[in-house]
Structure 1
Amino acid sequence: MQDGSGTMRLGSGAFEGSYSFKSRMEDGPGTNPEELIGAAHAGCFSMAFANGLTQAGHKPQEIRTTASVHFDKGDKGWGITRIDLATEGDVPGIDEATFKRLAEDAKKDCPVSKA
């Protein structure tokens, strides 16, 4: 279906975007389902991380998480093989070791990370 295209819409109406073969398998304009899964994962993780930081007494000013979704062809066809999250934050008074430990805890607590 290299000529197909469509529109994805969230049930809440908060997002609507076009997609096509080119936006999914090449570098064409639009979005794709895998990109939306990555965005959901980044958002869920950021919320879990912010909650864990706050509960540990380190209220964040800002958390920024980006997701890199690896969509590759394997023995069973195309699929998401890995999602890498990169997170930065403005968290006053926290040391790097505590930041990393709480990030690992958030990874275990994030519902999308568990999927």
Structure 2
Amino acid sequence: MTTNTGSARYEGLGKNGKGHVSTGSGALSDQPYGFTTRFEGAPGTNPEELVGAAHASCFTMALSFALARAGHSDGSIETTATVTLEKDGDGFTVTRSDLVTTARVPGISDEDFQAIAADAKVNCPISKLLNAEITLAATLAD
């Protein structure tokens, strides 16, 4: 088992607030995020972009390992995940993550590649997470 952390801090509330997001590894350190980075294109990041990066990287690695298990030893894979956020009543819902991948794998048929890619999509840990139980422990500080 491995565990990894991500953290976020938000100062102020609503549209006027500003936040910073970090990863435990330091890959992101106090990256700005907030209403303007999420909806107005301001510099920084947003949760959907981070989910997209996580999904694209997880799927790409899962596909790489699946191709290796199928006997392929050379190639390259590039994936983009486009995560869609839609207005839902008074809030928002992430409605989809569209994976678009291009691979170069010498000697594989398209039929075999499609089957392996479909399996990797279903079985990569982030695909599973997007359907996982989510727990919450919330504490209101004084």
TM-score by length of 2: 0.75
The partner residue of 1:63 within 68, 77, 95 is 77
Runs of 4+ in 1 over 3 A off after TM superposition: none
Q: Say whether the 8 Å CA contact 1:53–1:60 is kept in structure 2.
A: no
| Residue identity matched to 2:96 | R
CA distance 1:12–1:104, change in 2 (3 Å): same
TM-score by length of 1: 0.91
Indicate the residue corresponding to 1:28 in structure 2: 42
Q: Does 1:50 align with 2:64?
A: yes
Q: Say whether the 8 Å CA contact 1:50–1:60 is kept in structure 2.
A: no
- Asked which structure has the greater CA Rg, the reply is 2
| Residue identity matched to 2:81 | A
RCO higher in structure (CA 8 A, sep ≥6)? 1
| Residue identity matched to 1:21 | F
CA distance 1:109–1:60, change in 2 (3 Å): farther
Q: Does 1:106 align with 2:127?
A: no
Q: Which has the higher helix share?
A: 1
Distance 2:90 2:103 in 1: 38
Indicate the SS of the match to 1:45. helix
Alignment RMSD (CA, Å): 1.4
Distance 2:93 2:100 in 1: 21
List per-residue Cα deviations over 1:24-77 (Å, max 9, x = no partner): 122222110111011001111011100100100123421111110001112472
Indicate the residue corresponding to 1:95 in structure 2: 109
Unpaired runs of at least 5, structure 1: none
Identical counterparts, % of pairs = 49
Alignment of 1:66-85 (within 5 A): 66-75=80-89, 77-85=91-99
